[in-house]
Structure 1
């Protein structure tokens, strides 16, 4: 019996076991992500998140972190930052375990003028402690395009205390009696809405607490002069200047040549900055400076606030001034590996604006865009 106890203790306090468990956990999370993108959230929950083996893996990780923290005597050695990191991982895993075991999610489909008080989950129908009426649904499209820019629902929530009006749209969440409701999709005839309903008050609270502990642990670890992070930082300070001296001249010359060529097809930075201060109304109706809007556009297209040394204002106004030039610049980030094969697009990290149009000016991926916007926001990753 003692041998078994010693073996279990040695196993749960082993960093090798920690690494093995974490690798398996990461692999399962990655697999769940792929399943969710391909088959939807419900399938990912059924195959992975609600699998007893996944629960067991999370439980073993919690035990392992507790055992290693106790074995290392982090408190007595005053390694408070590392101790908080261990505790934060335990709390985050505990929150995930609570979510998987007790949280649930479903959808509510409502037609205009209809009132519903039930949600449909993967397993069954569940009654809600309130009812929802869809008063109106609106689909807003980008000017001059059929692509939806946003869709929103005007609802009336009925509870025991009375009723109230709510306006829900993408990235706007409604909280009601522990339930979270957010806009996920809509009917093809634009007369109905589909809301995702989530109930996970306990799991969400525990997980957020874990993130706060993780932040505190990281700050304490970075502040500790004897920590491994501080030692690595000192080593990097010695090596970084040498690396910069070796590569900076070549990089600077190449970037300068490219930037000068682009500058001939846009406006100077000073003028772009002045233009960026102008106030405009964005598609969502919000009044904001031009530079705020162009920053969002460039981040969405190129995944960065700048392009080859040019600001977002210079890039966008350059495209407006000389579309024939900028349309041939590959700066549209391509993350979907299926599109090049389906629509004969160039393969690579970036494509040109003209690549998504045929010779007669037809938008090659219009069907894919419409299909993407009709799906829930969580499933529109590419």
Structure 2
């Protein structure tokens, strides 16, 4: 029996299970993003083999706790952290088999008192609420100059089926209604024939409380482990933890090569408008209304060129000059093959095999394009899966819409019509060329209306676009990482230490400046999408690297923090993520606390990533080089 427990609680099995779970969860996430949530649940999260894998992981946790018997005070933190993960898994199992997951769709004036469960193990079962809910009014707010919803809410009346007492409530994004063990979330809406329907997500999940208790225990256990380690270290004699010596030259070259690879691995048409350098510079900061906010023309041009062509610059030309050409020389540009097709199969379907770009008129003239778009819209309206051709055609249609706005002169909305910031702006009249547009902008800036953006605000965003703080940050942090590596593996010298510290602090300062400039331009905390979350993740690691180089002085910790900070900010800059500022989704704009939660959790992930990296290094040494006790103690 002892041998079975030792086998189940083996560190090698733990590391192997963690790696398998990492691959499985990554696979499930990819399936969910590329196909659907239902496909991921069927293929991964709800599969019997996945439950078996979680069961084996639970046995591994239980066996590892058993192997620690007798349980002394020094093992309390270990037991709490491992026990908390068992609690989390039990709570997740309760959610899987007991949770009620449904939707309630109500037209204004309509009532409901029964749910149809959509959870996988109770599909179609009717669940009585115990009360009646009536939708009295549905309200929707929109972003300036667009039909994009900024917030929507439901005003409802609850009638108790026993006492017949009526109470009024409001449900909106991030402000659910808790009643009778159920949670009502504002999910979506429909508008038809002048009527409005509110769609509420409804759930009852007793396992969630168990999971939250598990997470609380996990945090408490980590604190106990930290305190225990500090107390144990203080009780050891001085000099017990030796410094690790220099590595062999071959190992050193291999590790340094990996670091450098991160940096070295990335490394009859219309013409742009003929504009003087002075006019072009002025138009870069011209305020225009686009995508639900007011921004400089520079930002709009960069986003539009990338969206239409798939390139940051078309033919190496300044983006503002390019879009001015679209707007003031539309006839020539309509026949220029500049619109990204995005799919080889779509190019073949449009009779342009092998082409990567197509002209605006070329797309319009292709009969297959309209057929694919109509089919795609019909499928999407019925919530049916789209074919790859239909998806590519709908994306191409989005690029056509952007290009159409410039070709028809409707994109450059630079004139506010009132002092109300929500009202849409219009295209200035009699602006027949870039010079006239510049003159119009100068007149507005000389006598600005209320709520008209200042020149300084626009120029700051133009500067932010030009500097590209993410790129500058990893350019600074990469040499800091190389220096930190040599500090860790060789005998330390003063100039190396100071230069490493200067570069780490400078890289963190660049990231901080970039976040501040983005915050100012957006008028909100930059925490609304994956790109901005990555910014805070990189900033959190950079903050720890700066603190470590000034206070901790542990060379392994500094190298770890510098490398992680460089890697995260490099990925943020180089991965194909949308880096432009967009309006915050209603799910985040409903409360400032959720927007604050995102950066806090990403900074927490930063510390988790650092500690996880060192922990895996330590486990690797223990498993594969048990004789390297000195390095293991340094990591401890």
Tell me what 2:171 maps to. 168
8 Å CA contact retained: 2:107, 2:198: yes
Please state whether the residue corresponding to 1:22 is helix, strand or coil. Answer: helix
In the TM superposition, 1:86-97 aligns within 5 A as: 86-97=82-93
**1:118 aligned to 111, 114, 119, which one?**
114
**How far apart are the structure 2 equivalents of 1:164 and 1:185?**
23
**How far apart are the structure 1 equivalents of 2:139 and 2:511?**
44
Sort the Cα spacing of 1:350 and 1:234 in 2 relative to 1 into closer, same or farther, 3 A. Answer: farther
Give the drift of 1:87: 0.8
Tell me what 1:300 maps to. 528
Which structure has the higher relative contact order (CA within 8 Å, separation 6+)? 1
Please state whether the residue corresponding to 2:147 is helix, strand or coil. Answer: coil
Please state whether the residue corresponding to 1:116 is helix, strand or coil. Answer: strand
**How far apart are the structure 1 equivalents of 2:511 and 2:175?**
41
Deviations, residues 137-179 of structure 1 (Å, cap 9, x unaligned): 1111112222111111111223334332221111112212222
Tell me what 1:178 maps to. 181
Please state whether the residue corresponding to 1:78 is helix, strand or coil. Answer: helix
Tell me what 2:63 maps to. 67
Please state whether the residue corresponding to 2:74 is helix, strand or coil. Answer: coil
Give the drift of 1:90: 0.9
Q: Runs of 5+ in structure 2 lacking a partner?
A: 244-483, 540-568, 591-597, 599-636
Sort the Cα spacing of 1:141 and 1:64 in 2 relative to 1 into closer, same or farther, 3 A. Answer: same
In the TM superposition, 1:1-382 aligns within 5 A as: 5=1, 8-73=4-69, 75-76=71-72, 78-122=74-118, 123-129=123-129, 130-159=131-160, 160-161=162-163, 162-189=165-192, 191-201=196-206, 203-225=207-229, 245-250=498-503, 294-296=523-525, 298-300=526-528, 302-303=532-533, 348=576, 351=579
Tell me what 2:248 maps to. none
Give the drift of 1:208: 1.0
Q: Runs of 5+ in structure 1 lacking a partner?
A: 267-289, 309-332, 337-345, 357-368
Please state whether the residue corresponding to 1:72 is helix, strand or coil. Answer: coil
Structure possessing the higher radius of gyration over alpha carbons = 2
**How far apart are the structure 2 equivalents of 1:256 and 1:8?**
53
Please state whether the residue corresponding to 1:143 is helix, strand or coil. Answer: coil
8 Å CA contact retained: 2:74, 2:228: no
Give the drift of 1:7: 5.8
TM-score for the superposition, normalised by structure 1 = 0.62
Please state whether the residue corresponding to 2:174 is helix, strand or coil. Answer: coil
Tell me what 1:327 maps to. none
**How far apart are the structure 2 equivalents of 1:241 and 1:79?**
39
8 Å CA contact retained: 1:58, 1:97: no
8 Å CA contact retained: 1:117, 1:132: yes
8 Å CA contact retained: 1:49, 1:100: no
Considering only aligned residues, what root-mean-square deviation do their CA atoms show, in Å?
A: 4.5
Bigger fraction of residues in helix: 2
Please state whether the residue corresponding to 1:168 is helix, strand or coil. Answer: strand
